[in-house]
Amino acid sequence: MKQEGGLSWVEALCMLGLAYALVFGIAVVLAGPLSFDKTLLFWLTTFIQQVILLALVAFMLHRNGLSWRSIGLRRISARTAMRSIAAGGLIVIAMGGFIQLINLFLPKGLPAQNVEAFFHMGSPRLAFALSFFLMVIMAPLVEEVFFRGYLYHALADRLTPQLAMLITGLIFGLVHGDIYRLLPLAVGGYLLNLIAVREESILASMLAHATWNAVMLFVAFGTMS
């Protein structure tokens, strides 16, 4: 499961499970005795979950004597950055096609995504600012560090790169908790992995991921106005 001095996919999944378990416990306390507003609770627990997962990755790397470079966190050139942003735009187009195809088989269309709870928090400006922070900054940072970084490299130590990318993409789709969008999200995760592997840096997939989420965010707020 782990080569000496290497990464373990079992430890990676345990980290993911621990992050979700801790956040679930926090949510129960905040929603119960403290009676937090549901939208605020969703925002706060999402942020806490991201911080916990990032902290767990940092802890495991330190414990194993590994650097961030070992999971693909390397500098990229300006040209690579531009390619990555363009690739993120292509992922948006591909995901849009997927969603339209799924809608053909659902008479009432796809239900709203759970992240749309962010859009109804306080004033429109506050909702947009918080949504931008979580979706365009935090999510690409944390999810790329964990999925295309730690988990992928742990799986790639034991499997072929293609199989490691497929499994990572599937888990990425599953943890979003949206059964209707599972396949598009899994494909999106796989494409992000391709970008990270091709450019030899998860900074590239972070930029692509941020572009994907940013376009979705602007479109969502645009349709609400």
Give the residue ranges of the chain where pLDDT is below 70: 1-5, 33-36, 112-122, 224-225
Residues 147-187 pLDDT 10s: 999 999 999 999 999 999 999 999 999 998 888 889 999 99
Indicate the SS3 state at residue 197. helix
Nearest to 201 by CA among 77, 85, 74: 74
Q: Which two tokens stand for residue 142?
A: 């944390």
Is residue 120 within 8 A of residue 127, CB to CB? The reply is: yes
Q: Say if residues 149 and 164 touch (Cβ distance below 8 Å).
A: no
* pLDDT for 164: 97
To which residue do tokens 């840096």 refer? 201
What is the pLDDT at residue 1? 46
Length of the chain: 225
Q: Are 151 and 168 in contact (CB under 8 A)?
A: yes
CA distances from 70 to 87, 109, 145, 199, 208 (A): 24, 42, 11, 15, 20
